[in-house]
Amino acid sequence: MTGNNFFARLFQGAQAVLKTNDLGRSTKPAPRLYPHQWNWDSAFIAIGLSHYDNQRARTEIHSLLNGQWKNGMIPHIIFNPAAANYQPGPEYWECHNSPDAPPEVFTSGITQPPILALAALDVYNNATDKQQAGEFLKTIYPRLYSLYRYFIRYRRAGTDGLTYIIHPWESGLDNSPRWDKPLNSFDLQWQPEYKRADNSIVDNAERPSDAEYERYSYLVELYRKLNWNEKAIRRESPFLVQPVLFNCLLSLGLGALEKIAGLVGTNNNEITRWKFELDLAINNRLWDIKKQAYGDFDLVTGNLYYTDTVAQFAPLMAGIAPADRVEQMVRKLHSADYWPTDGYPLCSVSRSDPAFDPIKYWRGPVWININWLVIRGLESYGFQSVARKLADKTLDLVNKNGFYEYFNPHTGRGHGSDNFSWTAALVVDLVTKCDQIDRNI
């Protein structure tokens, strides 16, 4: 990165964060709070790395695939044996009781938004040595394919293309108000077998509540008793939700997988069909006619729940919504509910929603990965100037406040962990693209 000093400084700062969190073959999301490898974090991280160390970006993806289960699932955490002080740790998950778990690595038993193909395609597109990058795609293609087939085989409820999640941690937006209803639809008196460590590292006011953690741990202990068997979980789980964001990220992943199949010379008709069925179901089944917005379907109660949070813009991120709905979403995200006039976009929960809290985890603060996904979506629909405005605001936010995990949309102050990897990685991506655009003007 040369030229623009502002961009160059941010780029270097971001590189330093990624170096601090580098574990050799993988990158931890944050120095102390998250000492292992996380699924969608590593995908975002690979995208950032691919701009200045394409080989290291490929290693990031290889190390994530190393934790893949026999059924194709990539777990949400691959544990780093050298790290302690993260709860729940590997002994709690007992994944080796599943015949699908890899024998040599400790992992969690649930997954996260499947954006890995998107990352692999970006790594290829950002590589200067296309032959080497093409070889990389060829090598990983079978495992990427089995990751997406996993969702089709095991996570469809049977009636249409939508897939369900079995835990709020799978959504990536752990304590979003989106899960309040589904998570509280069952009675529970529960004491987890472990003591939380997160709220001794980060202020309790910025993390999920104990009541939420009790339910998170209840679900893990239930699935553990079922030896992580997909069919049994489907039958017994009190939490089965088809979220709009998760399904749209799956759609983005399938779109990227389709392109990768083309690049490696493999027939991709099946992937095209999976994506077609999924997109259709998102637009038909997750559209709330009364609210005129997208919601999440709860398979347990049979309800479509609309919640006024940033995840409702997911079909815009994925480029799959019809034009009239897109215009409506752009207007909404540009309103003071999501884009405070004197503050920073995008609030993760609408400021008009009673659940809005500017510093509490996924209940109001700005998250850089969400902004980044919205920026890409806006660009894909030709909203270049709103996209650029959002990118500039995002970079300004990080520049003034540091590479935090999330930010208060009113003051810009950083919360959660400092030196957060995906914030850094996506800043690298944003400054590189903004710089390219500026040079071409």
Residues noted as catalytic: 174, 405
DSSP per-residue letters across 209-247:
-HHHHHHHHHHHHHHHHTTT-HHHHHHH-S--EE-HHHH
Which residues contact ligand 9WN (rule: CB under 6 A)? 29, 34, 38, 40-41, 76, 169, 172, 174, 198
Q: Which CB atom, from 34 or from 338, has the smaller least distance to ligand 9WN?
A: 34
Q: Are 293 and 325 spatial neighbours (Cβ–Cβ below 8 Å)? A: no
Q: Which CB atom, from 49 or from 127, has the smaller least distance to ligand 9WN?
A: 49
CB of 209 to ligand 9WN, least distance (A): 12
Identify the CA nearest to 256 among candidates 308, 319, 193.
319
CB of 198 to ligand 9WN, least distance (A): 6
CB of 349 to ligand 9WN, least distance (A): 14
Q: Is the dihedral of CA 216, 218, 220, 223 positive or negative?
A: negative
**357-362: Cβ within 8 A, 24+ apart:** 358/408, 358/409, 358/410, 358/411, 359/205, 359/206, 359/408, 359/413, 359/415, 360/175, 360/205, 360/206, 360/207, 361/174, 361/175, 361/206, 361/207, 361/208, 361/406, 361/416, 362/173, 362/174, 362/175, 362/176
SS3 assignment, position 288:
strand
d(CA 71, CA 111): 12
CB of 237 to ligand 9WN, least distance (A): 18
Q: Which CB atom, from 34 or from 344, has the smaller least distance to ligand 9WN?
A: 34
Q: Which CB atom, from 33 or from 434, has the smaller least distance to ligand 9WN?
A: 33
Q: By beta-carbon distance, which residue lies closest to ligand 9WN? A: 29
Identify the CA nearest to 375 among candidates 308, 441, 317, 300.
317
Q: Which CB atom, from 36 or from 259, has the smaller least distance to ligand 9WN?
A: 36
Q: Which CB atom, from 37 or from 268, has the smaller least distance to ligand 9WN?
A: 37
Structure tokens that stand for 45 in this block: 């991280």
